[in-house]
Structure 1
Amino acid sequence: MNLYIINSIRTNNFNDDSMMEKINTLWKEAYAGMDDHESNMYGVYHSYDSNYKGDYTLSVATDETVDGNVLTVAEDAAYKVFKVNSSDEQGVVKAWMNIWEQEEAGLLQRAYSFDYEKYAPNGEVEIYIALKPV
Structure 2
Amino acid sequence: MKLFLVNSIRTNNFNDEQIMGKIQNMWEEAYGNLGYHQNSIFGIYYDYESDYKGDYSLSVGIEESYGEAFVEIPKNGKYEIFKVDTTDEKGVINTWSKIWEQEEAGLLERAYSYDFEKYSTNGEIEIYIAIK
Note whether the superposition's TM-score is higher than 0.5: yes
- What are the within-5 Å matches in structure 2 for residues 83-94 of structure 1? 83-94=83-94
Secondary structure at 1:88 match in 2: coil
What does the per-residue CA deviation read over 1:84-119, in whole Å, with 9 as the maximum and x for residues that have no partner?
011110000000000000000000000000000000
Structure 1 stretch 67-76 or stretch 95-104: which is displaced more? Answer: 67-76
1:74 is displaced (CA, Å) by 0.8
1:47-82, Cα deviation, whole Å (9 max, x unpaired): 000000000000110112111311100111000000
Q: CA deviation at 1:16?
A: 0.2
Flag as ranges the 4+ runs of structure 1 deviating above 6 A.
none
The two structures, once aligned, show a CA RMSD in angstroms of 0.6
Alignment of 1:63-78 (within 5 A): 63-78=63-78
Gaps (5+ residues) in structure 2? none
* Structure 2 partner of 1:48: 48
> Retained in 2: the 8 A contact 1:6–1:68?
no
Aligned residue for 1:61? 61
Question: How high is the sequence identity, in percent, across the aligned residues?
Answer: 52
Counterpart in the other structure of 2:17: 17
Once residues 53 and 128 of structure 1 are traced to their aligned partners in structure 2, the CA distance between those partners, rounded to angstroms, is: 18
1:55-134 correspondence to structure 2 within 5 Å: 55-132=55-132
TM (norm. structure 1) is 0.97
Q: Which moved more, 1:59-68 or 1:47-56?
A: 59-68
Q: What 5-or-longer segments of structure 1 have no aligned partner?
A: none
Deviation for aligned residue 1:122: 1.3
Q: How many residues of Structure 1 are paired with residues of Structure 2 in the alignment?
A: 132
